[in-house]
Homo-oligomer: A and B are copies of this chain.
Amino acid sequence: MHATTDKVRAVRYPLTGDFLAGRLRQNLRSEDLTYIENLVESVEEHGDGTCILERGARTECSTILIEGYVFRTIESGGKRFITGVHLPGDFIDLHGFALKRLDHNVVAAGKVRVGCVSHATLRRVMMDRPGVARAMWFATLLDAAIHRKWIQTLEQLDAPRRIAHLYAELRTRLELIGRVNSRALRTPFTQFDMADMCGVSAIHANRAVGKLKEMEIAEIRRGDLYTDDWDLLKKFARFDPDYLYGEGPLKLEDDWD
């Protein structure tokens, strides 16, 4: 991790037109998606390792991840702990909007592009568009469900299975947002990153990666995972996608809108 460029650029439009192919998409009509895309007031790029949002900050805008990976991290006793990872389409600091104060950092893993929506705009949205407000609430509930699964993973699995579970989850989440186009799963993660996500030392993460290769479950090279058999990997990790609520658009009562 070497923080090189900070904010490469901050522009106002044009947007990609498709950056909301993320989590919200499942729960919104296309007109609402267009509506949200137009809320983005600026787009920023950040280099690997950049701290995009700092613990304790009181922000005036919320951030949606457009491209790349970010970590939720907490520093304690000189060490870093990763409590979550986010993919394009995820709002990464809606809690900063509602709780007014961030309790952890958000750090870029590799190059990322994010969009900013001011809190004033969000407040207006919450009032004018209950359907959109609801979708954002769903997204935070899904975050909580993923957190619970990470807790279970830490409580239940040994290091090789934790790493396998991490990649199985990422694979499924990428599928849900239509970003899987090969059998490989490419990430910018180092073994240090994997270690901090899985609650083991970097050296033990290395052992675990070696074991996955030895067992012919998967080969991980510089963050990129290659496997001939995703089902085998998922079985090994005891992965059950239930908690990702990937069953498609929720059947919602219309009287909500």
Contacts and interface: CB of A to CB of B under 8 A. Distances in A.
Nearest to A138: B98
A35 interface: no
A147 interface: yes
A74 interface: yes
B99 A245 contact: yes
Interface residues of A, number: 51
Contacts of A94: 141
B100 A152 contact: no
Contact of A137 (B74, B140, B199, B238): B140
Given A95-B144, A141-B95, A199 B81 contact: no
Interface of A: 72, 74, 76-77, 79, 81-84, 94-95, 98-101, 103-104, 123, 126-127, 130, 133-134, 137-138, 140-145, 147-148, 150-152, 154-156, 196, 198-199, 238, 242-243, 245, 250-251, 253, 255-256
